[in-house]
A and B are shown apart, each in its own frame.
Chain A
Amino acid sequence: MLLKKFKSATCFLTRYRWRLVLGFSSLLLTNLAQALIPRLLGEAVDVLRIDQNNLSRVNTFCLLIFGCTLLRAGFQFSMRYFIIGVSRRVEYLVRNRLFQHLQTLSFSYFNQTKTGDLMARATADVEAVRMVIGPGLMYICNTMVVVPAALFMMFTMSVPLTLMSMFPLVVLSVVMRKFSPKLHQLSKRVQDLLSDLSSRAQESISGVRVIKAFSQERREENSFEAVSKDYLNSNVALARTRGVTVTSIWVLADIGTLILLWVGGGKIINNTLTLGEFVAFNSYHLMLLWPMIALGWVIALYQRGVAAMERIDEVLSTEPEIQDKEGIKEIQSLRGEIEFRNLNFSYGVDHETALSDISFKATAGSTVAIVGPTGSGKSTIVNLVPHLFQVERGMLFIDGMDIHDVPLRLLRNSVGYVPQDAFLFSDTIANNIAYGIHNATDEIIVAAAGAAAVADQIREFPHGFAQRIGERGVNLSGGQKQRISIARAIIRKPTILILDDCLSAVDTETEAKLLEELRRIRKDRTTLVVAHRISTIQDADLILVLDDGKIVERGKHEELVKKGGLYANLFRMQRLQEDLEEIQ
């Protein structure tokens, strides 16, 4: 069947079978009721024609017509209500499923796929699919009922007249099939040019500084004008084609009336057709017009739907790169020992090597700090530990087990992670802190915030811990965000704590307080710290100095300072920086 390609959506239809049964029976009934009306009107006209004083019979027809109208209207309501309603419900389910699947995919998938593209699939594409299984299906079924019903009524009145009036309808359907794709093509060109126009404006406004510096405003206007002119021309071309299409719909409808007037009129004169039938014929003809016009529309709809479904299925069929392999051994808990063994890593086949030959061991409960210039691979190292990216076997071990053999759920539940960008959700502060735990009480949340040295500031917000943040709430400073994301990590009491340069926006005074707390918290957990500021990590058990993806120095603070290498230099620079900041 035509809907075979839409399996990922139609599989939800069975849930709504009763609604669909009601919808499609309504569809049948509303069309049958509609098909009776012109005939009744014609009969009434004929009654009037034969005996102008038989008004009581005319009254009966009035009532019958109105009765049919009410039936038609009632069933039309339930047809739309059920069929379109089901399509909206299915749309909801498809979108949920798409979202759930997206969440299982690994990070590398999102590095390759644009967010905007995924959003388009979840919105426009799901909508395009709905248009097929809702309105598209409804209109096609409508056509399949209206056409035979109207034709049947017409045949009962006059076979030759019916055959002749089908002529403009057939022409119309050919015209629509021919012009629909062309219209689609032209309007796509108009859309493309509009987006050209838009990116032209975007580029010009973004580069306004250069344009002004070189006094190139006039040239920009001219080049914008050129696109604007193209846009105008393609719009006019579209209008021409649309003009032809719209005009031919009108003309063919009128030709139908013309044939009726000519052939039907002749039949009336010859007494083989009544005036009432003449009137009825005209109505049936109009009734058939719409399905012919809709045909072209539904075809375009279907084509768009198929393409959209393919894009959705592409996402749904993408297997998560990182997931527990079958038959993985259950483990109760982790101690938190991490070992890198000659690890090499790159973000993709065509990417440069991000890490090479990384080896170190963080014993359970110890603190390992990683420093180095921007882009040296510090964050990459800590991102590998919660298995966010895939690594080869035999390179990364947790508690002596290869990371591939550690259940993902357990591993991630044991990790407290503070990301570099301090990503928070647009939700309340309390919900953000309690993000990763069940049934958090207010006390626990406040305690975590206190440990992250941010509780006092939170209390100052108008809604305190219930304050919303992000788009619809207050804007937090970088330092506040970082501390809230620290609270979110430590509230989980993780075995492994990962701090990815999470103090960069915190002022020196707060930093000291926070470090004191962290020292206490760090005591019984393995901690990986990426830091720009040496002061943060001076007391780490092991400091790794990274440069260009390689470990170039390792040791404790004093050893490294004495050594006089990259680390010592970094340390010196930072003291200078602090001095400079203090000059008023």
Chain B
Amino acid sequence: MSDPQDKDFLEEEDEALGKAIDWKILKRLMKYVLPYKKSFTASLAILFLLSWVTLIGPYLIKCAVDGPLTSLANRPDRPVDDVMRDLLGIVFLYMGFISMESILRYAQIVVTNLCGQSIIRSLRKQVFAHVHKMSLSFFDRNPVGKLVTRVTSDVESLSEVFVSGAAIIFEDLFKLILIVAVLFYLSPKLAAVTLLALLPLFLVANIFRIRSRAGYREVRGKIARTNAYLQEAISGLRIIQIFGQEKKSAERFAKRNAELRDAHLDTVKVYSTFYPAVEVVSQLGVVVLLWLGSREIAAGRLSFGQFIQFWFYTKHFFEPIRQLAEKYNVLQAAMASSERIFRVLDSPVEIANPAAPVESKKLSGAIEFDQVTFSYRENDPVLKNVSFKVNPGESVAVVGATGAGKTTIINLIPRFYDVTAGRVLVDGVDVRDYRKQTLRAQIGVVLQDVFLFSGTIADNIKLGEDETITDERIEEVSRHVNASRFINKLPKRFETPVMERGLSLSVGERQLLSFARALAFDPRILILDEATSSVDTETEVLIQSALEKLLKGRTSIIVAHRLSTIQRADRILVIHRGEIREEGNHQELIQKGGLYKKLYLLQYEAQERLKSGSK
């Protein structure tokens, strides 16, 4: 079956390509250049000088040709030593030219790079910081991979402009203008005709730019298709093998692979044509120069030296044109990247600090939900009119089936999200009236999936360079939550690096570590999303006793999965389909024989039996 739905397969990043120069974006980019305007100006100045210096070489040769090299032929009576001295003079000048050029060239590369990289670094910093200011709903909408691309690849593609692109463009433009000016100064007629002959270079370069760009896109698309099939085949290999479809699958792969090969062969054709075409056009310039130049020499309007100078300059002509064409594509990509970066920078910070925040004070820890409604997507409320109060020091367990809205409740207290309607109050004040930092500093959050950062165990407890948390404090809290036992068994104790995403630690150990982390910050309010996964009995006992210590003297809200946790709570809230259905302690709710009883039988009774069985 042929597939008509097959056509619209384009990379998202590719489609956005438009203008190579967008003044609005450029203006905005210039703001990032301002702090580095000194080194930026220096780099431009070097480029300017450099394009002048390149002109000197051929000029010196002209002087040699018209001077010492031909002076004996013109005036045979001159002593040879004189002539040699003249030549030596030019040779010395040439040496001077070489040293000047080498210094400038080296300086240009280093200065431009330093300047460009610094600009890019400050941009990258800004993007990174801005992303971290966004609310969690922003991260729900934007996948991690996409955001990482903004911070890295997109910024990187911009850096190509700042680091090499802009520099080369300026140098090439200076150079082209200078060469054209000098050619016209030497001989307007010859200059006009030679340039006319070289004009097709622009045409060739431009055709090549367009064709190679199209070819590149085609190849990219085919690579993506081939890779997609490869990936699919590897993940579906079980099906391929059981259904005995290896041959058919190989054919399908070969088809995509052949498309890729043909796309490549097309670009081979483009490149194979391009280089010879350039050669023909630029040699045409030389031939025209020779043809007309010889006539000009015969007529006495041009010297040999000037002729050779001319010849050198035309050789310098093509490189800048090709570079300019190439940089056009780089610019285009950079503009698209800037646009994407600016889109991130322009997305408003949804959860901002209030203009006049409530004075920070030590909280007592009272929490109240006042007719709270919340939805992640419009018209699809996850919480409906939820109201409840938690007194300072009280411990409340939230239970309910998966998707009932338990996690949402605890997300609203530290203001990870803002309510859709109603109010969340802490100590009688709407959470939107606190500074986020003040509020969050007094709320300890322990999540189900314990996220560990690369770094040491200690880093993960104090979360980095927070100097207010001393080593003694770290050891103390770890001991308190029973984490020091396993930490002391680690090779470098608190200085042991945690592998990426904590793969080397067990679930239970990570739990204990996250308890230590929460305790180190000594919060008034503790929010706990209990892990569902089971751990071995010994660790379970450690976790439970740690939890008990952790809850003491704090207000706590716990999404509970362990029966023992629920039984310990002062009160239980039963959530079902976004509403609070039942409320009370374990005994009361069991006696009531409603939703909680069913949940209990389903989720917790087995634990009960297991526990009594093991005793």
Contacts and interface: CB of A to CB of B under 8 A. Distances in A.
Given A269-B72, A423-B236, A88 B268 contact: yes
A212 B136 contact: yes
Interface stretch (A174-182, A259-267, A506-514, A539-547): A259-267
Interface stretch (B84-92, B477-485, B585-593): B84-92
Contact of B109 (A211, A243, A472): A243
A383 to B, nearest CB: 8
Contact of A221 (B129, B139, B280, B286): B129
Contacts of A102: 233-234, 237
A564 B102 CA distance: 90
Given A99-B230, A239-B114, A257-B57, A69 B279 contact: yes
A463 interface: yes
Contacts of B105: 243, 246-247, 250
Contact of B280 (A62, A69, A89): A69
Interface stretch (B418-426, B434-442, B551-559): B434-442
Contacts of B595: 580, 583
Interface in A102-129: 102-104, 107, 110, 115, 118-119, 122-123
B440 A258 contact: no
A297 B171 CA distance: 25
A85 B266 CA distance: 9
B12 to A, nearest CB: 13
Interface in B294-309: 294-295, 297-298, 304, 308
B239 A419 contact: yes
Contacts of B132: 204, 208, 211, 217, 220-221
A419 B242 CA distance: 11
Interface string A237-276: 0011011101100110011011001100110111100010
A214 B242 contact: no
A207 B261 CA distance: 42
Interface residues of B, number: 138
Interface stretch (B23-31, B148-156, B175-183, B540-548): B148-156
Contacts of A44: 290, 294
Nearest to A221: B129
A409 interface: yes
B573 to A, nearest CB: 17
Nearest to B135: A212
A221 B276 CA distance: 51
Nearest to A88: B264
B1 to A, nearest CB: 6
Contact of A88 (B94, B147, B238, B261): B261
Nearest to B133: A217
Given A88-B265, A583-B595, A77 B106 contact: no
A431 B250 CA distance: 16
A76 B465 contact: no
Contact of A240 (B110, B235, B238): B110
Contact of A269 (B87, B223, B226, B298): B87
B401 A580 contact: yes
Interface string B180-218: 000000000000000000000000000000000000000
Nearest to A80: B272
5 contacts: A99-B254, A103-B246, A207-B453, A236-B113, A425-B239
A201 B98 contact: no
B447 A258 contact: no
B454 interface: yes
Nearest to A228: B121
What are the 5 A-B residue pairs with the smallest beta carbon separation, nearest first? A436-B243, A73-B276, A239-B113, A243-B109, A213-B445
A483 to B, nearest CB: 16
B237 A103 contact: yes
Given A80-B275, A466-B1, A107 B238 contact: yes
A126 B139 CA distance: 37
Given A62-B290, A235-B117, A431-B1, A96 B254 contact: yes
A213 B410 CA distance: 11
A95 interface: yes
Contacts of B414: 212-213
A261 B61 contact: yes
Given A213-B414, A239-B113, A65 B290 contact: yes
Interface in A444-483: 463, 466, 468, 470-473
B577 interface: yes
A576 B598 contact: yes
A170 interface: no
B386 interface: no
Contacts of B94: 254, 257-258, 261
Contacts of B139: 205, 208
B22 interface: no
Given A246-B109, A417-B242, A65 B102 contact: no
B283 interface: yes
B232 A251 contact: no
B291 A580 contact: no
Given A214-B521, A232-B117, 16 more contacts: A48-B298, A62-B290, A96-B257, A99-B257, A202-B148, A209-B451, A242-B109, A250-B101, A257-B61, A261-B87, A419-B239, A436-B243, A436-B244, A488-B243, A569-B606, A576-B601
Interface stretch (B62-70, B330-338, B357-365, B564-572): B62-70
A576 to B, nearest CB: 5
Contact of B234 (A74, A115, A254, A580): A115
A96, A212, A257, A468 — most chain B CB neighbours (10 Å): A212
Given A48-B297, A213-B443, A275-B304, A72 B290 contact: no
A317 interface: no
A413 B244 contact: yes
A182 B23 CA distance: 39
A266 B84 contact: yes
B260 A92 contact: yes
A571 to B, nearest CB: 13
Contacts of B237: 102-103, 107, 110
Nearest to A211: B132
Given A103-B237, A201-B128, A415 B242 contact: yes
Q: Which of A37, A66, A99, A266 has the most CB of B within 10 A?
A: A99
A154 interface: no
Interface string B1-13: 1010110110000
B231 A119 contact: yes
Contacts of B97: 254
Contacts of B244: 409, 412-413, 436
Contacts of A258: 91, 94-95, 98
A41 interface: yes
B69 A210 contact: no
Given A208-B132, A224-B128, A251-B98, A584 B577 contact: yes
B228 interface: yes
B136 A103 contact: no
B57 A254 contact: yes
Given A99-B233, A198-B148, A239-B109, A203 B3 contact: no
B592 to A, nearest CB: 14
Contact of B245 (A243, A265, A435, A576): A435
Given A69-B279, A239-B109, A254 B101 contact: yes
Contacts of B471: none
Contact of A80 (B230, B271, B463, B602): B271
Contacts of A118: 230, 234
Which of B68, B243, B261 counts the most A-chain CB atoms under 10 A from its CB? B243
